[in-house]
Structure 1
Amino acid sequence: MKVTVVRPGELQEPELTRWRELQHASASLDNPFLSVEFALALGRLRSYVRVAVVEDGGKVVGFLPFERHAFGIGKPLGSWLTTCHGLISVPDLDLPARELLRGCGLSVFDFDHMVAGQPTWAPHESAVRPVPMMDLTAGFESYIGLVRENSPKNYKTVRYKERKLAREHGEIRLAWAAADAESMRVLTGWKSDQYRRTGRVDRFAQPWIVELIDEMHASGSPSFGGVLTMLYAGDTPVAGHFGLRTHNTLVGWFPAYDPEFARYSPGIMHHLHMAEQAASHGLGQVDMGKGGREYKGWLKNGVIHVSEGRVSRPSATAAVHWMGRTPVNKARNIVVDRPSLYRLADRLLKGFGRVRTSLQPESIEKEPSGAR
């Protein structure tokens, strides 16, 4: 096989068409983070983005979008920013991972949201984890019936809070595919504040991420687009979400809500309205992403799987990278796999966030208007 590495913008129209054909042909690749449009956008913003074009007998059989960093260290496209990685290829492509790394000029490649079971990566998987899904293929009424049956107490509580919110603040409605920039700024303001309060890195403090989100917000085709949804009580926005979609799947990316309305559980309320609108717009599923949020457990009616692992070729770089990364990854997995430790870690991060916020200047605490 032949592996050629190019920048995304160097792909020609036949290659773009082939990428879309390969992705559309496999249900396991039905994720917008695997779409060529996402790779092209990220390639315009980050100089380290590359695509490996895999040919067999002169025919393109696969694409691997990735990041090439210093010393031959490779990462999946979007790495920590995205929730799905993979080799976009013909089914059962027989391409050993180390051979692919050699063709890409990489010494090591870490992954933690890889499409599980791909032959290239499966021998190197260290863990396979479930991703909760809202399966809407049978329609929203069928889906909500299962939620009501499987989690009657949770469902009744959310609907009670929704009626209370409507009585006190106005009719509940969801705006699907909101196009205005102001709604996006409200959502990212909430999310930035949430990151700070919970001790996490504020994604939107990085201008290139804001630019990426704005570009994705403006995109839209039958097979790929950004979807901004906002939940209102009367004329007041209370919760929202920005994600990406294919022709069939909406993937969760940036959910947030106004903490002034936290007692009404607006985030969960928003997810139910979002699922209803997704089904009405012809989407078959909502991918909520792996992670330890309890509400996902009772909103889901299906799962897919992603894997974690590491591939390396013998080198000093790979050895140093292993010593730096493996203990951290093991510690993270221990926390993720134990709910009590996950809740403790979450409380510690939130405590750190409160301390950090209290030390910020007052002018920073008050902006942007309407932020979480």
Structure 2
Amino acid sequence: MDIQIISADKLTKEHLSVWSYIQQNNPLLGSPYFSPEYTSIVAEAKGDVLVAIIKDAGEIVGFFPFEKNSWPIARPVAWQIADYQTLVLKSGFNFDIREFVESCNLKIWNFCNMPNTILPEQQFHKLREEPSYIIDVSAGYDSYIEERNLRSDWIKKTIKMMRKVERDLGEIRFVPQLDDESVLNLMMRWKSEQYARMNTYDRFQIDWLKQVVEKVYATRNERFEGMLSALYIGDQVAGIEFGMRTPSVLHSWFSIYNQDFYKYSPGMILQLKIIEYVASQGMKHIDIGAGTDNYKERVANNSITICHGYIEIPSVITTVRNLRNRSMEMLNSVKTLVTA
């Protein structure tokens, strides 16, 4: 196994083509987060993304995109918005992950939201795991509706609400793929207002993150594209969702609705419309990510387990980090005893 590390902006057309081929032929890599376009977009916006190109007997068999500062510690690409991270590997290719990390001149690889099907558990330190929710429409829209109606009444309530909207306010119109930058800007403005109401940090204050969203929106090809969807009530925008998609998977990224229509549940109406559209396109599923939102458990009919953890190579750096972590654990234990 040979490793070549390059800046992501140095990836050639051949590299990108091989990466896409590996992704399309490995069923575990359907997410747009694993697409070369996503890594290239982040690299263009941030400028500090590296890629390890993995070769076996002269053939490229994988790619490992990551970020690293002056310390030999890797972290996910755009970790602030990284709903998934993994190695992009040719299906069936296996190797010793610690040997690989060391070959990348790294001492620690910190990862988050790693699908648990990617790496053997015995090869890394697991800090925690959680479900990441999926709306599986591989059997078709009608099958999804039938299964959800057995477990929840959200679809029946949403359809009833749609009738009420049309009686009270007028026509409902759904546009699955908008080419309108003003709606994208409206989504970001509404999300910023939502973050302010929730007293949480406004992601769109991060310049590179905003650039990533804009560049994903502007990308259109058969392998990867941004997907901006909108729900209209009359002539007003009632809800917006922005995500990114591959031929088989839509990853829901940012969703927001018009507060003026709050009592009409525009967010749930928009979600149902998107589910119907994705199923009609022959896609496999919508990924709505991890989290404790009640609506995710209502609309999802499947999930995958994702892990948070790290891989480390024994060194001075890992020794210092482990000592620091143990000190923090002892300090927290003392605080617990004092306040008990």
TM-score by length of 1: 0.82
Structure 1 residues 289, 325: CA separation in 2 closer, same or farther (over 3 Å shift)?
Answer: farther
Shift of 1:257: 1.3
Structure 2 partner of 1:282: 282
Structure 2 partner of 1:87: 87
SS in 1 for 2:130: strand
User: Residues 87-116 of structure 1, C-alpha deviation per residue, up to 9 Å, x if partnerless?
Assistant: 111234333232222222222222121121
SS in 2 for 1:105: coil
Identity of aligned pairs, percent? Answer: 29
Structure 1 partner of 2:110: 110
Structure 1 residues 110, 192: CA separation in 2 closer, same or farther (over 3 Å shift)?
Answer: same
Q: Do the aligned partners of 1:93 and 1:119 also contact (CA within 8 Å) in 2?
A: no
Structure 1 partner of 2:99: 99
Letter of the 1:144 partner, please give it: I
User: Residues 133-176 of structure 1, C-alpha deviation per residue, up to 9 Å, x if partnerless?
Assistant: 11111221221222222213x33322232222232222112111
Q: Do the aligned partners of 2:98 and 2:123 also contact (CA within 8 Å) in 1?
A: no
Farther-moved stretch of structure 1 (5-14 vs 51-60): 5-14
Structure 2 partner of 1:213: 213
SS in 1 for 2:289: coil
Q: Do the aligned partners of 2:72 and 2:105 also contact (CA within 8 Å) in 1?
A: yes
Q: Do the aligned partners of 2:123 and 2:311 also contact (CA within 8 Å) in 1?
A: no
Farther-moved stretch of structure 1 (120-129 vs 192-201): 120-129
Structure 2 partner of 1:49: 49
**Aligned-partner Cα distance in 2 for 1:180–1:128:** 38
- Residue 138 of structure 1 pairs with residue 124 of structure 2: no
Q: How does 1:264-343 map to 2 (within 5 A)?
A: 264-321=264-321, 323=324
User: Residues 265-287 of structure 1, C-alpha deviation per residue, up to 9 Å, x if partnerless?
Assistant: 22122111111111223322101
- Residue 147 of structure 1 pairs with residue 162 of structure 2: no
Structure 1 residues 326, 261: CA separation in 2 closer, same or farther (over 3 Å shift)?
Answer: farther
Letter of the 2:133 partner, please give it: P
**Aligned-partner Cα distance in 1 for 2:239–2:328:** 37
**Aligned-partner Cα distance in 1 for 2:327–2:99:** 23
**Aligned-partner Cα distance in 2 for 1:141–1:166:** 23
SS in 2 for 1:66: strand
| Uncovered stretches (5+) of structure 1, i.e. residues with no partner | 332-372
**Aligned-partner Cα distance in 2 for 1:199–1:133:** 28
Structure 2 partner of 1:28: 28
SS in 2 for 1:289: strand
SS in 2 for 1:85: coil
Structure 1 residues 148, 327: CA separation in 2 closer, same or farther (over 3 Å shift)?
Answer: farther
Letter of the 2:313 partner, please give it: R
Q: CA RMSD in A?
A: 2.2
| Uncovered stretches (5+) of structure 2, i.e. residues with no partner | 333-340
Structure 1 residues 191, 66: CA separation in 2 closer, same or farther (over 3 Å shift)?
Answer: same
**Aligned-partner Cα distance in 1 for 2:318–2:185:** 41
Shift of 1:121: 6.3
Shift of 1:317: 3.3
Q: Do the aligned partners of 1:4 and 1:103 also contact (CA within 8 Å) in 2?
A: no
SS in 2 for 1:268: helix
Q: How does 1:357-368 map to 2 (within 5 A)?
A: none
Letter of the 1:284 partner, please give it: K
Structure 2 partner of 1:129: 130
Structure 2 partner of 1:232: 232
Structure 1 residues 304, 118: CA separation in 2 closer, same or farther (over 3 Å shift)?
Answer: same
Structure 1 residues 39, 192: CA separation in 2 closer, same or farther (over 3 Å shift)?
Answer: same
Q: How does 1:187-198 map to 2 (within 5 A)?
A: 187-198=187-198
Structure 1 residues 122, 129: CA separation in 2 closer, same or farther (over 3 Å shift)?
Answer: farther
Structure 1 partner of 2:37: 37
**Aligned-partner Cα distance in 1 for 2:203–2:139:** 36
**Aligned-partner Cα distance in 1 for 2:121–2:205:** 33
Q: Do the aligned partners of 1:97 and 1:121 also contact (CA within 8 Å) in 2?
A: no
Letter of the 2:261 partner, please give it: F
**Aligned-partner Cα distance in 2 for 1:41–1:122:** 33
Q: Do the aligned partners of 1:30 and 1:249 also contact (CA within 8 Å) in 2?
A: yes
**Aligned-partner Cα distance in 2 for 1:51–1:69:** 14
Shift of 1:18: 1.4
Structure 1 residues 321, 80: CA separation in 2 closer, same or farther (over 3 Å shift)?
Answer: farther
Farther-moved stretch of structure 1 (164-173 vs 20-29): 164-173
Structure 1 residues 151, 317: CA separation in 2 closer, same or farther (over 3 Å shift)?
Answer: same
Farther-moved stretch of structure 1 (314-323 vs 270-279): 314-323
SS in 2 for 1:170: coil
Q: Do the aligned partners of 2:188 and 2:204 also contact (CA within 8 Å) in 1?
A: yes
Structure 1 residues 115, 327: CA separation in 2 closer, same or farther (over 3 Å shift)?
Answer: farther
Q: Do the aligned partners of 1:238 and 1:266 also contact (CA within 8 Å) in 2?
A: yes
